[in-house]
Chains A and B, each alone.
Chain A
Amino acid sequence: MAGQSNQWRPTCSLAALLARAAVVAEIRAFFADRDVIEVQTPTLGRTSTTEPQIDSLHTADGAFLQTSPEHYMKRLLAAGAPSIYQLGPVHRAGETGRLHREEFTMLEWYRLGFDDAALMEEVTALMDRILGCGECRRISHESLVGALAGDQADLDLRFANAVERLGEGRWFVTDYPAAQASLARLRPGNPRLAARFELIVDGVELANGYHELTDPTELRQRMARDNAIRAAAGRPHMEADERLLAAMAEGLPDCAGVALGVDRLVMLAMGASNLAEVMPFAER
């Protein structure tokens, strides 16, 4: 057993633990200043995302660990909640690497009456607070990745490589193609583009935001399309979240929302390059 005597130890340093605590405290203070209230929704749910490239972990009795609190938070907004944020664990099956863990901490927030442009301003302010002041430059998805030739996998690889090539600095990638709208609305004047953005910091994808789609009919169609892609790739069918669709039928207020990887943020704040350096037990 002598060889195992150190295995109980945390995988990150005490300094990383302190840096993480400081970042989390700053995030909570940032939202307290802006009257955005903290909520806590379940990590286990009856359904989960239909996203074609995201797999959910599930329990033996068929419940899913949530890959983001998005559906629950939108149900809160439809029920009359003000602007809200959640800070907590989410899970994604099969994602392990330098910048990926199956369980990680996500900050997700929704702002009533904001569009994607207004939310990008707020994301910029949060970055200034946590990482120090710095310019967030903008680049359209097409300028970053090039024309939409090739299949989706080619595009994804080009995107992944292009993101790394952005190098140091903060970038918003804007104007996603409609096929990658996810849960963003399409631009009213230009339905080829989605009101979606991502924040890239020092070559690391840090946040993904939308001017939210509020139309349940459109969402149902997108979920069906997701499932067709899943079926073609041999991935399991994911049931549509009827409670989210019902909430949107009742009325999701005009809002913008964004999800941000907190472990990656702590990593960048510390100048680290691997999530294992900032997560206390990155041992699985």
Chain B
Amino acid sequence: MASYATNEFRAGLKVLLEGDPCAILENEFVKPGKGQAFNRVKFRNLKTGRVWERTFKSGEAIEAADVVETAMQYLYTDGVFYHFMKTDGSYEQVAAAKAVVGDALNWITEQDVCQVTLWDDQPISITVPNFVTLEVTETDPGLKGDTAQGGSKPATLVTGAVIRVPLFINVGDVLKIDTRSGEYVSRA
């Protein structure tokens, strides 16, 4: 298996740390004038999302992780697994457990394309687009004329997610949503 020495460390590199796939976020070279050189490294654990900090003696090496991010279309769920298909024409499919899919399903519906992170060909995380458009299926009736200011109310989207929307939004409206904050942006 390939490995990377500290002098190859850079942000974005995918490595194995304590058995988990991680991405290097930051790599700082630290060296007292006449002392041993170190690399102080921040990693994101790609399975848990947690940030880890570790210090290596310069010259040490860590194993590379076979991690790829690929565009895949969400197909359906069988109730236990969530099935995705590659969009490269290969029709290759993977099945992701609920824990891997996380809250991505708040923002995607069947046929939507998202980024799937595969480690040794198994899905470990799903990244949805920063902005999505989704239809409102349930909300209190809109208040005519109140198009500009003040007030919000809950609205249920076609995915089942509930977000805060302005008072003028009606059932059947299609909304643009920022998936990073889960906030309403505008009518699409």
Contact = CB atoms under 8 A, between A and B. Distances in A.
A181 B112 CA distance: 66
Contact of B29 (A98, A157, A180, A198): A98
Interface in B26-70: 28-38, 55, 57-58
Given A96-B29, A97-B29, A205-B32, 19 more contacts: A54-B34, A94-B58, A95-B31, A97-B28, A97-B30, A97-B31, A98-B29, A100-B29, A152-B35, A155-B35, A156-B36, A157-B36, A159-B32, A159-B35, A160-B30, A160-B32, A182-B34, A198-B33, A208-B33
B186 interface: no
Interface in A202-246: 205, 208
Contacts of B38: 156-157, 160
B29 A153 contact: no
B87 interface: no
B57 A153 contact: yes
B7 interface: yes
Nearest to B55: A157
Interface string B9-21: 0000000000000
B32 to A, nearest CB: 5
Contacts of B35: 53, 152, 155-156, 159-160
A98 B33 contact: no
A53 B29 contact: no
A51 interface: yes
Contact of A94 (B7, B30, B33, B57): B7
A98 B35 CA distance: 17
B56 to A, nearest CB: 10
Which 7 A-B pairs have CB atoms at the shortest separation, nearest pair first?
A: A97-B29, A156-B35, A156-B36, A153-B36, A160-B30, A159-B32, A160-B32
